[in-house]
Every structure is written in structure tokens, then in C-alpha cells.
Amino acid sequence: MYISALRWNPVWTTTVLLVPFVVVLTAGFFYLYGVIVGLLSKTSVRNKVVVITDALSGLGKECAGLFHKGGARLILCGKSWEKLEELVDDLANASDPTVTFPPKLVLLDFGDMDSMPEAIAEILQCYGCLDILIFNSSMKVKAPAQTVSLEMDKLLMDNNYFGPVTLAKGVLPSMISRRSGHLLLVNSIQGKIAVPFRTAYAASKHAVQAFFDCLRAEVEEYGISVSTINHTFISRSASEASQEKTVLYTKKPLGVSPDEAATEIVKTLNNKRKEVVIAPSLPKVAIYARSFFPNVFFAVMAAGVNNPGVRSRPDE
């Protein structure tokens, strides 16, 4: 009777046969995707000089590991020499020394503008040139505008705007003379829209976004690419999965994981995409609403401030 039912129900039979095929096909697709991304990371950065600012952050370490295994000549920048050395040891232990280059280290603190000329000179002296510069560092402050001092405003602007801009201007002559190079800015989505209690932070992110958007057109004739990646925020690890209410969306996972962001950086470098937004649907809609329906956007932001159950994340 069971066999007879199968014969007389072709739809059910086809479904039973197709489900395992679809599962295997989907798993194979994701496996191939991972392999392709790994190959792209190697082919796009092998033997290239890659500078990573704030290499000690979660995303910085993820990029360092990915590019180091891909055969890049890394220049890792950070505020602590001891922690940079620890990172180099970790990279050496996780890679094959016969196909990788020992990273070079440079102390870099965007909050100390007086040290920037020396840091830029050291970066250029490491290999005499550079191919890729990833601007990864950021400083965040959450508070009502009237409670943030001007000193804090200036420190935010140094870290998020003047520091990256100074570094970009310092390496541009070298890139222009070689007529090649890629500048990639890892920026917040608040370079596109602004939410309450982020006045100075959003201002600094808007400023640096505008600088690199303008710069893109200026240096295109020299063969230099400029990319920006705007994310909601980088979570501490891929395992974080708790949820929380925000102004822009009711519930969401804690941002983009470092490995997801690093993968997006590799794809952006390889494809030379000019702009990438990593965010859920609602924040993307907010970007368009800010342009085409500003009054609606402002009303939503004000409602978020007035509703004590809706708040911004403390780390973004």
C-alpha cells in the first residue's frame, strides 16, 4: 500500500527526492563561497603592503590574521607596543612562515596629533610605499549635547576625523607618484544619518565620510581607489547574540561580527567598490528617509528620545 501511494502521488515523491538535493546544494554553495573568499583574500593582497590602523581592535586583529595568511606585507598600527608584539606572535603561531612576511609595527595614536608626522614617516619607511590603507580606528561617546565638554568634542574630532585625514594626506603623495593605491575607510552608519545623544560622534563621522567622498573624485585620475564601509557597529565577537531595543529598530543582534566585517573588507578591496553599507533593512530605509522624507525621519528620532523604552546602544 505504501509503494502504491508513492506511485500515485508524484508531487509528494518529487518533494521527498528534492529536499536532500536542495540541502546538499545549499551546503555546497556556502562551502564554495568560503573557499572563494579565502582565495580572493590571498590573490588580492599577496605581496602588497597593507596598513591597518587600530590593529589591536577586534576587527583589526581579524583583518591582520586574514591578510597575513594571504601573504600581505603588513604594517600594524596601534597605541601599545607590547600588545602589538603579542599580536605578531599570535599571527606567527597561526601561519606558515615560509609563505608569510613578518609584520612591521608602528605606534599610532590619532588622539595625539603632534605624533602624527613621525608616525607617517615610519609607515612610509617600512617598505618605501604602500598599496592599501585601512582606516579602522574610532572613538565613541554617548551623552546629551550640553553635557559633553569642548575638550571631549576636540578629542573625538582628532580620533575620528583629523587623525585619519592627516594620515591620508601624508601617504597620498607616495600613492600619486606610483599612480596606484587603495584607501578604505571603515566608518559608522552615523556618517550617513545621525541619532540622538551622538552629536559630536555623528558630526565626526559625517565629516570623515564627506572628506573621503570628495577625495574619491580627486584621486581617481591617479589610479587610486577610495572605498567607504558604513556599519551599524562591530560586535565584540560572532558569539554575541543578545537583543536590545534601539531608536532605529526594535530588536537586532549585536552588530556585525569582526569576521563578517573583515570578509566584507576583502570583497570591497577586490571589487574596488566605492561604498558599502552593512546594516539591517530598517537603518538602510532610514538613510533614504533622511533624504526624501526628512520630516518623517526627524519625527521618528524625536519619538525615540521621548520613549524611555527605546534607546541607543551604549557602545555605538
Judge whether 202 and 154 are in contact, CB under 8 Å.
no
pLDDT at position 95 over 50: yes
Residue 13's CB: how many other CB atoms inside 10 A? 13
14 part of a folded domain: no
Number of folded domains that form the chain: 1
Q: Is the pLDDT of residue 82 over 90?
A: yes
For residue 245, is it within any domain? no
Identify the CATH number of the domain in which residue 262 sits.
3.40.50.720
Which amino acids are annotated catalytic?
201
Asked whether residue 272 is assigned to any structural domain, the reply reads yes
Q: What is the pLDDT of residue 4?
A: 52
Predicted pLDDT of residue 236: 66
Domain that holds residue 150: 27-236+250-312
Secondary structure (H, E, C), 60-106? HHHHHHHHHHCCCEEEEEECCHHHHHHHHHHHHHCCCCCCCCCCEEE
**Domain for residue 206, yes or no?**
yes
pLDDT digits (tens, 9 = 90+) for 233-269: 887 655 443 444 444 544 445 578 899 999 999 999 9
pTM: 0.80
pLDDT (0 to 100) of residue 42: 47
Q: Each residue of 191-234: pLDDT tens digit? A: 999 889 999 999 999 999 999 999 999 999 999 999 999 999 88
Kindly state the average pLDDT of the residues 171-198: 95
Domain assignment present for residue 83? The answer is: yes
